[in-house]
Amino acid sequence: MPRTDGVGAWLQITPLMTVLTLFLVVPIVTIAVVSFWGYNEWSFFPDFTLENYEYHLTAKVTWQTYLTTVKYVALTWIFTVVIGFTVAYFLAFHVRSLTWQIALFLVCTIPFWTSNIIRMISWIPFLGREGLANNALIAVGAIDKPLEFLLFSDFAVILAFVHLYALFMVVPIFNTMMRIDKSLIEAARDAGASSFQTLTNVIIPLSKPGIMIGSIFVVTLVMGDFITVRFMSGSQSASVGRLIQNEISLLQYPAAAASAVVLLITVLLMIGIMMRFVNIRKEL
């Protein structure tokens, strides 16, 4: 091969660079720029003002919304970790044949054949006041009158989040677990570890990178969500995403951009903190 001064290398990374620049860097820079613009009731205009940030960061509603959003993140994370770890553990260590592992894994992905929104909305006839769940519970005599908290509540929001995002936890954890050398489990048993000790001393520590990757998925998805919160809470709860959506619908683009920048920084900080705990680089 003839010697090149890196031209070949530059050519090779050009397609990816172009895509990332056009669809990631340019939009983010645009948002960052617009977040400093000014606006009034009918228009927005180039400017350099910190008012958008000042208003966003000092408004009580922002802090309440962040609190609600973080609550959603925390609860969703707890449930998806428990469910994701359990499912992945079952697939990786209890299902012995590779064929069955692949088959069951594909079964897990079946819900993804329909869109998020449809999966979310399909909870409504199930959870509603006259929905399947309430009717069934009344029919078996477990309750006298419909349970009100099932739909249009935090419960419904969390349920939908867990339903939508549990697989994002299953996949990376399963992937890490499949790489655990089975002889390590035997070695633990040989050293007298009980099943529970093997779980806590060997499997969980070795699954940490997968748990962390899944957590990053879940945290970023829930932090940025607006549609699930809107549908499942019946527009009664707010999240940071909904805040931004509202500002956009009021055509307050600079305000929305400032909120978006703050959200982006918050999410990046959260990921940064998570990465400090576990080194996921060797998984990628």
CA dihedral 6, 9, 15, 20 (to 10 degrees): -80
Beta carbon of residue 205, minimum distance to another protein (angstroms, whole number) = 5
CA-nearest of 35, 87, 92 to 253 is: 35
202 is an interface residue for another protein by CB under 8 A:
yes
49 is an interface residue for another protein by CB under 8 A:
no
Strands (DSSP E) along 55-175, which ranges? none
Q: Which stretch binds another protein (CB under 8 A): 67-75, 116-124, 162-170, 192-200?
A: 192-200
Give CA–CA dist 196/109, Å, rounded.
Answer: 29
With 0-12 CB in 10 A as exposed, 13-18 as middle and 19+ as buried, what is 272? Answer: exposed
**Contact mark string toward another protein, 55..94, x via CB under 8 A:** ----------------------------------------
Beta carbon of residue 193, minimum distance to another protein (angstroms, whole number) = 5
188 is an interface residue for another protein by CB under 8 A:
yes
Beta carbon of residue 206, minimum distance to another protein (angstroms, whole number) = 6
Amino acid (1-letter code) at residue 15: P
Name which of 122 and 197 has its Cβ closer to another protein.
197
Centre a 10 Å sphere on the Cβ of residue 231 and count the other Cβ atoms it contains. Answer: 19
Tell me if 91 sits within 8 A of 105, measured CB to CB: yes
Residues interacting with another protein, by CB under 8 A?
181, 183-184, 186-194, 197, 201-202, 205-206
